[in-house]
Structure 1
Amino acid sequence: MPAADGAPPVRRARPRRLLMCRPTTFEVSYAINPWMDPSVPVDAARATAQWEQLYRLYLALGHSVELIEARPGLPDMVYAANGATVVDGKVLGARFRNAERAAEGEAYLDWFRERGFTEIHRPRHINEGEGDLLTCGDSILAGYGFRTAPEAHREAEEVFGRPVIGLELVDPRFYHLDTALAVLDGKEIMYHPEAFAPHSRALLRRLFPDAVLVERADAEAFGLNAMSDGYNVVLPQAARGVARQLAERGFHPIGVDLSELLKGGGSVKCCTLELRPADAAR
């Protein structure tokens, strides 16, 4: 509903159906992004406790959370957002660029089959799920440059019947779109401009002139790897600047500590795959 002049808009939280994966196999035994360093120890117990905090928070906020079991030898399965993209009840599976994660795609497709999803598409082209395919209103914002292939954008358009807007990523620290941009509500977004090529930056300015622009320090704290339900925005607690920006816009930022999982190159959104039903509000 509209707000009074000079006041932030009144926000409304909408319950979401989410999929997560406990970090039972999580470790950093290889490096496929700039955040991963196998020489830095991972505290498995702490990683699990941090993940459990996020899981319990989602439940407390009224969201439903389903779980997929991590398979041995797949330490990155905890990053459920990469496992698929689900829009209007349709599932587009993931096809990973790096061999270390390749088997995750089939593991997630098996879960969807076992849960009775009927419209499941095995990908032809490389895409890393919601890591690079973010639903925004009636469209899908699609990252490329490091992981997801541009050809996958057309495939997503065919599967979901929605326009797909390609955005080129140029900074390897923001190797997935969900590390450089977050959808807040409907067609409202926040992003870090320097993560994008000049032509994509210009496109974002044109399409989203009122977007929240996030500074480098908050982006490097993974402040854009956030999950929003339209009112509550769960994000890393270290991203204090963007939390203030969100509060000024009428959102309710909630900071969490996922520092152990950040050692693998992921945070809140990476651990969260949204299962959008056919009747989901756009």
Structure 2
Amino acid sequence: MTSVSIFGPADEPITLDIAQPFAPARVSTTRRYLMCPPRYFTVEYAINPWMDPSQPTSTELAMEQWTALKDTYERLGHDVSVIEPQQGLPDMVFAANSGTVIDGRVLGSRFRAEQRAAEADHFRRWFLESGYKAVVMPTAVNEAEGDFTWTGQLLLAGTGFRTDPGAHSEAQEVLGVPVVSLQLVDPRFYHLDVALFMLDDQSERPLVAYYPEAFSPGSQRVLRRLFPDAVIANDDDAVCLGLNAVSDGRHVVMPVEATNLAEQVARRGFEPVLVDISELRKSGGGPKCCTMELRG
């Protein structure tokens, strides 16, 4: 059996046992994350299918859920840095969209939606003030880790709704890593990080989880070739943004509603850590959207 820890705003853990066949031992690695508190969170415009300004939102609840997510990372031994939010930028909480960091090199973001454009420069200044020397701002539209996923060996790069295809070659040139382009076709899954996430980026055989229907037929074939052992999510997993998850190689922080996906990753030897982030999902975000990884 494996234990699943559920943490919500009340910060009271609930343990759920999931039957698990033989699976390899998983090893966590300490990660460094950058997050931004949702102090000004609201839904006042619609730039993706999840956003509905007519529905009420609670900034207080968003702060509680974000704090529980940050506390979860720190409880698991990870280092979390925090950037100050800016009034008038309600989506700045989704830090993953503002930078891609590999081996200490930073490729900033260039947002497609004008409502989020100003976020990019706030993050650029944070990187410079934090001692990063190699910081490059893109010329092509690129929503950073929203559409860029590092496997430990290559960069998976999504396009179709937000990030321009030209940003993929720019990322390869700036970051100096091989890039594989993937075409997204379902507007609900407008970013790569709501359709796919890395479970293990430290092994010789990286392991991912993904939702095939979010991708074009050709991209599905690419994913099957690259990751023949992948965890395949179903529609229920996908529509609760269960794939907007964060793994440290052992613990997988994911939305509490993604029970089928949690069982699948547990069967592979990982430990799901389920968090309630339902308020931020009203803007189309989950744990990964709130979390930029600082590599190197």
In the alignment, the residues of structure 2 paired with residue 125 and residue 18 of structure 1 have an alpha-carbon distance, to the nearest angstrom, of 25
The Cα of 1:44 is off from its aligned counterpart by 1.1
**Counterpart residue number, 1:213:** 232
Please list the CA deviations of residues 13-57 of structure 1 after superposition, one character each: whole Å capped at 9, or x if unmatched.
101000000000111000000000000010111111000000101
**Counterpart residue number, 1:80:** 95
State the SS of the aligned residue for 1:270: coil
**Counterpart residue number, 2:209:** 190
1:224 aligns with 2:224: no
User: Residue 152 of structure 2 aligns to which amino acid in structure 1?
Assistant: G
Please list the CA deviations of residues 108-142 of structure 1 after superposition, one character each: whole Å capped at 9, or x if unmatched.
10110111100000111100010000100210000
In the alignment, the residues of structure 2 paired with residue 216 and residue 260 of structure 1 have an alpha-carbon distance, to the nearest angstrom, of 21
The Cα of 1:7 is off from its aligned counterpart by 2.0
Please list the CA deviations of residues 54-80 of structure 1 after superposition, one character each: whole Å capped at 9, or x if unmatched.
010110000000000111111000000
State the SS of the aligned residue for 1:263: helix
In the alignment, the residues of structure 2 paired with residue 246 and residue 48 of structure 1 have an alpha-carbon distance, to the nearest angstrom, of 28
Out of 174, 179, 197, the position equivalent to 1:159 is 174
1:11 aligns with 2:31: no
In the alignment, the residues of structure 2 paired with residue 80 and residue 35 of structure 1 have an alpha-carbon distance, to the nearest angstrom, of 18
In the alignment, the residues of structure 1 paired with residue 221 and residue 271 of structure 2 have an alpha-carbon distance, to the nearest angstrom, of 29
Q: Kindly, what percent of the aligned residue pairs are identical?
A: 55
- How many residues align? The count is 272
TM-score after normalising by structure 2? 0.91
**Counterpart residue number, 1:3:** none
**Counterpart residue number, 1:47:** 62
1:253-268 paired onto structure 2 within 5 Å: 253-268=272-287
User: Residue 212 of structure 1 aligns to which amino acid in structure 2?
Assistant: V
TM-score after normalising by structure 1? 0.96
**Counterpart residue number, 1:242:** 261
Q: Which has the higher helix share?
A: 1
In the alignment, the residues of structure 1 paired with residue 272 and residue 183 of structure 2 have an alpha-carbon distance, to the nearest angstrom, of 28
User: Residue 150 of structure 2 aligns to which amino acid in structure 1?
Assistant: T
User: Residue 32 of structure 2 aligns to which amino acid in structure 1?
Assistant: R
The Cα of 1:166 is off from its aligned counterpart by 0.3
Aligned Cα RMSD in Å?
0.7
User: Residue 149 of structure 1 aligns to which amino acid in structure 2?
Assistant: D
**Counterpart residue number, 2:130:** 115
Moved segments of 4+, more than 6 Å: none
In the alignment, the residues of structure 1 paired with residue 57 and residue 84 of structure 2 have an alpha-carbon distance, to the nearest angstrom, of 20
Q: Which runs of 5+ in 1 are unaligned?
A: 1-5, 278-282
In the alignment, the residues of structure 1 paired with residue 160 and residue 197 of structure 2 have an alpha-carbon distance, to the nearest angstrom, of 18
Q: Which runs of 5+ in 2 are unaligned?
A: 1-20
